[in-house]
Structure formats: structure tokens, C-alpha cells
């Protein structure tokens, strides 16, 4: 009896219907990596098509795409229809801006794309991608360069109507690249461990366009290298916490050969102290003058040269042909009762010599 009842319950359970499953809407997953850029009057959009729909099922066949654009906080207006791309495709779309959006002051344009199901439905728009509407900034003219000891000074013609929203971007390209850091990192390489880090081939520098005069100092150049500079005006607007740029055309390039023709800084703090002759037993019978000065802090410093004159006579170099290494010198070639005037210069590793330091005068006392 019990076995029969159990069999009846088992048969009845097999026929019980489960909870109904909702019908699939076949909505493609939204795009998450939409990117936008503007060149001239054209806006280029790129994104990757998803592989699955919101039901985690693989998409089959091309997927319809709708592109829309909104200006500032306005409505998102459709700008492209009848687009379709295969799943996982690297999709792209280019819009030529209407004249109204390619003129006027810089302002935000926001693009998004929607992927449509076979019934024209979407799971929502993509991430927002921003560019700027408005007229591109004027080109930079009159770009020139002046080489100084502390770097390259770039000059250009000032903007007739400078705007705080516009900056100057200087593009610098190294025309004399060195071998890769791989060889520099080897202990047996010629450069060794103390070699400076490899310089990037291309770098850029932003400068306030309202600065007067219209110039910028590039302190990061290295002497012995050759560089190419170009410049452009760039409008910058913050949209939803992101800085969006609209760049003007690049200027003509200029070439800068960073040749070091500059002497070191002039030494300072020169002091002279005389020592009289001492006839006591065991003492040195000769008078002398000791010089000291503040060291010159330059990476390419080779040393110093010491000059002396007596009265209004000509300056004579009294140190050897090789630069004096430290900031001090002992002069034993002096006479009691005579007054001597001294000056020192700094010399770099290329042989450039600074001007003479401020003078120091000292009289050798009589014994």
C-alpha cells in the first residue's frame, strides 16, 4: 500500500510545471568604450562591439547601431542611422560637423551610441564621449628659439585676443636619439650605471597663452642634442570632470642644435690670507698666501684657474695648465711687504672659462 502511494506521488511530481521563463528581448550589451576625437571639422568615433546580449547569449549577425549627439546639456539628437557591425568588431564612425557647430566659442559636444535588437530596442546608451564644438584656435606663427645656458627659450607671436581657456602646446622631438636603455643598464657598457636616463623621443609642454611676453623656457634640453619644435594653440574646457581639448593646426617646425658655448658661473667669495716668513728653528722660512672661494655647483665643471697681479701690472695665471680641482689654492711665490691682487675663474669640461671673480687683495707682512 505504501509503495503504491509513493509511486503515485512520484508520477504526479514529474508532471508539475516549473516557473515560466521570461522571453528573451535579445538586447545587445551596451558599448562601454566609446571614444571621440576631433580633427578639423570632423569628429571620429571608435568603439568595440559586444559579443553577447543581456541574456548572456552570443550575438548572431550584424547589430544595428544608432549614434546621437548633444550640445552642452541639450537633447541627444540622432546623427547616424542604418549602421551595423558584427559582434566584437572594431567599429568607427566619422561625422563632419555642420557649420553651426564648427564655429563660435568652444563648447561641449557629447556623443553616445545605442545598439538595437531586431525589434529596435536597446539596453541603453553607451558611455559618453566628449569633444568640443566651436572654431578651432588660430595657428601659432613666428615660432623661434634662443639657446641659453639654462635651456631653450621658445618665442612666438602673441595672440591678439588671448583667452584663459586657450593654452600653447609645444611639441618637442629629439632628432638625435641614443641607444636604448638596455645597453646603458649593462655594467660593461661605455655609459655605465651613472649614465643619465634615456631621453624620450617626443615630449610636450603646456604654456599659458596669456603670458607676456609670448615665450617659454624648456629647461630639460641636453647639450649635444638636436631638437625639433612645433607649437599649436589648444582650447580646453572641463566637461563632466574631464578636460576636453580642441587643437588648432601645428606650426611650421624649427630646429634647435643644443651646442654648449656657455662658460660656467663666475666664482664668488674669494678670500686671501697671508702667512709671514718665520725664521724660528724648524719653521718654513718662506711667506705665502692661501686662497679660498665658494665652489661652483655645475655638473660639467672641470676646475678653476687662479690669476694674480701686483700693483697695476698685467694679470698672470699662476695655477698650472690643468684646472685646480678644489676651491682653494696655495701661493708660495710671494715677497714680504708686497701687496698682491687675486681673481679666479671657473672652467668646464669643454674648456669654456668664466669671467674673473671679484678681486681679493692681500699684503704679505714683513717678518
Range of lowest pLDDT (13-17, 113-117, 335-339, 358-362): 13-17
φ, ψ of residue 89 in degrees (nearest 5) = -70, 150
pLDDT mean over 350-365: 96
Q: What pLDDT, on the 0 to 100 scale, is given for residue 354?
A: 97
Residue 103: C-alpha distances to residues 96, 107, 155, 317 (Å):
13, 10, 28, 69
What's the rounded Cα separation, in Å, for the pair 14 and 20? 16
Q: What pLDDT, on the 0 to 100 scale, is given for residue 51?
A: 96
Global pTM value: 0.71
Q: What are 133-166's pLDDT values in tens digits?
A: 999 999 999 999 999 999 999 999 998 877 888 9
Instruction: Name the maximum alpha-carbon separation found in the chain.
Output: 141
pLDDT mean over 222-251: 93
The residues pairing with 80 across neighbouring beta strands, listed in sequence order, are: 67
Q: What are 87-96's pLDDT values in tens digits?
A: 999 999 999 9
The residues pairing with 254 across neighbouring beta strands, listed in sequence order, are: 229
What's the rounded Cα separation, in Å, for the pair 83 and 45? 13
Which grid cell is 220? Answer: 630639460
Compute the chain's Rg from CA coordinates: 38
Identify whether the C-beta of residue 114 lies closer than 8 Å to the C-beta of residue 85.
no
For the cut 90, the answer to whether the pLDDT of residue 179 exceeds it is no
For the cut 80, the answer to whether the pLDDT of residue 284 exceeds it is no
Q: What are 44-57's pLDDT values in tens digits?
A: 999 999 999 999 99
pLDDT bucket at 5, cuts 50 / 70 / 90: very low
Q: What are 287-317's pLDDT values in tens digits?
A: 999 999 999 998 889 999 999 999 999 999 9
Q: What pLDDT, on the 0 to 100 scale, is given for residue 196?
A: 64
Cβ-based neighbours of 182, under 8 Å, separated by 6 or more: none
Q: What pLDDT, on the 0 to 100 scale, is given for residue 307?
A: 98
Amino acid at each position: 500500500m505504501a509503495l503504491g502511494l509513493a509511486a503515485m506521488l512520484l508520477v504526479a511530481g514529474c508532471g508539475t510545471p516549473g516557473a515560466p521563463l521570461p522571453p528573451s528581448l535579445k538586447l545587445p550589451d551596451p558599448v562601454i568604450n566609446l571614444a571621440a576625437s576631433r580633427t578639423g571639422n570632423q569628429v571620429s568615433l571608435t568603439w568595440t562591439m559586444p559579443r553577447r546580449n543581456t541574456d548572456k547569449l552570443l550575438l548572431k549577425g550584424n547589430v544595428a547601431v544608432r549614434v546621437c549627439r548633444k550640445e552642452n546639456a541639450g537633447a541627444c539628437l540622432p546623427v547616424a542611422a542604418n549602421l551595423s557591425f558584427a559582434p566584437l568588431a572594431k567599429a568607427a564612425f566619422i561625422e563632419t560637423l555642420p557649420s553651426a557647430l564648427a564655429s563660435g566659442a568652444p563648447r561641449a559636444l557629447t556623443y553616445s551610441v545605442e545598439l538595437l535588437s531586431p525589434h529596435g530596442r536597446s539596453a541603453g546608451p553607451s558611455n559618453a564621449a566628449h569633444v568640443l564644438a566651436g572654431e578651432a584656435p588660430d595657428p601659432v606663427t613666428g615660432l623661434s628659439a634662443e639657446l641659453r645656458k639654462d635651456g631653450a627659450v621658445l618665442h612666438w607671436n602673441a595672440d591678439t585676443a588671448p583667452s584663459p581657456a586657450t593654452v600653447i602646446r609645444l611639441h618637442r622631438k629629439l632628432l638625435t636619439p641614443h641607444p636604448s636603455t638596455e645597453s646603458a643598464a649593462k655594467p660593461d657598457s661605455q655609459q655605465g650605471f651613472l649614465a643619465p636616463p634615456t631621453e624620450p623621443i617626443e615630449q610636450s609642454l603646456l604654456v599659458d597663452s596669456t603670458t607676456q611676453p609670448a615665450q617659454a623656457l624648456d629647461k630639460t634640453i641636453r647639450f649635444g642634442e638636436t631638437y625639433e619644435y612645433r607649437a599649436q594653440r589648444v582650447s580646453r574646457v572641463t566637461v563632466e570632470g574631464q578636460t576636453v581639448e580642441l587643437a588648432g593646426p601645428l606650426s611650421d617646425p624649427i630646429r634647435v642644435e643644443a651646442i654648449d658655448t656657455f662658460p660656467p658661473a663666475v666664482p664668488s667669495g674669494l678670500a686671501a690670507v697671508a702667512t709671514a716668513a718665520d725664521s724660528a728653528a724648524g719653521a718654513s722660512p718662506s711667506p705665502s698666501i692661501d686662497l679660498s672661494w665658494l665652489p661652483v655647483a655645475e655638473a660639467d665643471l672641470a676646475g678653476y684657474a687662479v690669476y694674480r697681479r701686483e700693483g697695476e701690472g698685467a694679470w698672470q695665471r699662476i695655477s698650472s695648465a690643468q684646472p685646480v680641482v678644489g676651491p682653494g689654492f696655495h701661493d708660495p711665490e710671494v715677497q714680504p711687504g708686497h701687496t698682491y691682487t687675486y681673481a679666479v675663474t671657473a672652467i668646464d669640461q669643454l674648456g669654456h672659462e668664466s669671467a674673473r671673480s671679484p678681486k681679493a687683495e692681500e699684503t704679505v707682512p714683513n717678518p
